[in-house]
Amino acid sequence: MGPRSEPDLRQLHDVGRVREGLPGGRHRVRRTDRRRRHRAVPRGARALPHAPGGGDVVTGLFVTIDGPGGVGKSTVTTAVAAELRSAGVAVCQTREPSDTPLGRLARQGTETYRGMAMACLIAADRYVHLDEVIRPALAQGTTVVCDRYIASSLVLQVLDGVDRDVVWELNRHADMPDLAVIVNARTEVIEKRLTSRGAHSRYEREPGNAARECTAYRETARFLMAAGVRVLQLDASAASPDEIARAVAVAIQELWTRGSA
Ligand SMILES: Nc1ncnc2c1ncn2[C@@H]1O[C@H](COP(=O)(O)OP(=O)(O)OP(=O)(O)O)[C@@H](O)[C@H]1O
Ligand SMILES: Cc1cn([C@H]2C[C@H](O)[C@@H](COP(=O)(O)O)O2)c(=O)[nH]c1=O
């Protein structure tokens, strides 16, 4: 990708970054599912360096944003999408559970279903979401920014009593993100945000949940890195949503730069 096709995000500051995990193992993304030929590389898309036939195969970037309930994921997802769009990038902002009929069932079902049933419902919705929304957008060269993804399952379904290996296995055929952002914060900050906004789910209403989720997301970040996923951990205790969004945009810019090297 030439410099003119990259969004101009280089002026952004690197704020709120805790740690970026650079995978040591193989990336599990199945790029062949997402490949599509274009005459020119759209803004915000990445030419795959070893594409057969000369490097004109492109894909959008798949970015996921996870973290404890009430930490600010939805606010940050919207801010990241806005930041990228203002740089001229085509963005698909989405979330899980998805806005498909199955996703709506899963979202409503979080109060009723638990354990393995919930883990299966969430995973089924993820496959529908991938087929109907995420992969088609990526194939068009659109960058996908998704509010909650596999990290949420590795935390919430495990806290709900399902073995982590089982959750991982249920998600075995799901694409891994190009960048998994984990937004975390001090427990007391999360509890304050939840109190002022109100809880969304049974998880968030359980006493001591914020502390458990904070710890579990840190552990999940390590697990994903060991599995070869690029993870960016950000501390939102004192940073504004815009500052977090800029840090994510900088990390995305770095991926584009690497992809075009
Ligand atoms: N960086 C921030 N600084 C201060 N307040 C924030 C920040 N990010 C989000 N908030 C506020 O915290 C509350 C929770 O934010 P948000 O709904 O985005 O969290 P969430 O992680 O998506 O929650 P849930 O997991 O329940 O969907 C909202 O009132 C939001 O305005
Ligand atoms: C992706 C995902 C979601 N959930 C649950 C957690 C919440 O109850 C809802 C999402 O609503 P929110 O407003 O974003 O908090 O779905 C889950 O249990 N596991 C998952 O992987």
Instruction: Give per-residue burial for 187-224: e unless 16+ CB within 10 Å, then b.
Output: bebbbebbeeeeeeeebbeeeebbebbbebbbebbebb
DSSP SS3 for 122: helix
Residue from 95, 148, 160, 205 whose mutation best tests the ligand 2 pocket (most atoms within 8 A of CB)? 148
What 3-state class would DSSP assign to 221? helix
List, for residues 130-150, the tens digit of each pLDDT value: 999 999 999 999 999 999 999
Q: What is the mean pLDDT of the chain?
A: 84
Q: State the first-to-last Cα distance of the chain, in angstroms, to the nearest integer.
A: 8
Nearest ligand by distance to the CA of 95: 2
pLDDT category at 242 given cuts 50, 70, 90 is very high
Q: How much is the pLDDT for 154?
A: 98
What pTM value is reported for the model?
0.86
**Residues in contact with 178: Cβ distance below 8 Å, sequence separation at least 6, in sequence order:** 29, 61, 62, 63, 230, 255
Ligand nearest to the CA of 117: 2
Q: Which amino acid is at 143?
A: T
Q: Whose CA is nearest to atom 7 of ligand 1?
A: 72
From atom 13 of ligand 2, which residue's Cα is the shortest distance away?
A: 200
* Residue 92 β-bridge partners: 144
In the reported structure, the alpha carbon of residue 73 is separated from the centroid of ligand 1 by a whole-number distance in angstroms of: 6
Work out the pLDDT band at 48, boundaries 50, 70, 90. low
pLDDT score at 38? 37
> In angstroms, rounded to a whole number, what is the distance separating the alpha carbons of residues 71 and 154?
17
What does the block give as tokens for 110?
């979080």
Alpha helices in the chain (DSSP H): 73-86, 101-109, 115-129, 135-139, 150-159, 164-170, 187-197, 202-205, 209-226, 241-260
Most informative mutation of 93, 98, 107 for ligand 2 (most atoms within 8 A of CB): 107
CA distance 106 to 214: 23
For 5-19, 125-139, 153-167, which range has the lowest pLDDT when averaged over its residues?
Answer: 5-19
**Residue 22 vs residue 212, higher pLDDT:** 212
Residue among 219, 190, 205, 197 at smallest CA distance from 110: 205
Residue 67 CA, closest ligand 1 atom number = 21
Does ligand 1 come within 6 angstroms of the Cβ of 240? yes
Q: What is the ipTM for the molecules in this complex?
A: 0.98
Name the closest-CA residue to atom 9, ligand 2.
107
pLDDT of residue 261: 56
Structure tokens at 33: 């599912």
Q: Kindly state the percentage of the chain with pLDDT values over 70.
A: 77
The 10s digit of each residue's pLDDT in 84-114 is 999 999 999 999 999 999 999 999 999 999 9
pLDDT at 203 over 80: yes
Query: What residue type is 147 in one-letter code?
Result: D
Output the six-digit token pair for 128.
Answer: 């529908």
DSSP 61-107: -EEEEE-STTSSHHHHHHHHHHHHHHTT--EEEEESS-SSHHHHHHH
- Of all protein residues, the one whose alpha carbon is nearest to atom 12 of ligand 2 is 200
| CATH topology for the 16-260 domain | Rossmann fold (3.40.50)
* Ligand 2 atom with least separation from CA of 160: 18
**Mean pLDDT over residues 193-220, rounded?**
95
> Nearest ligand, CA of residue 220?
2
CA of 191 relative to ligand 1 center, distance in Å:
11
From ligand 1's centre to the CA of 235, what distance in Å?
13
Q: Are 145 and 94 in contact (CB under 8 A)?
A: yes
Share of the chain above pLDDT 90, in %: 73
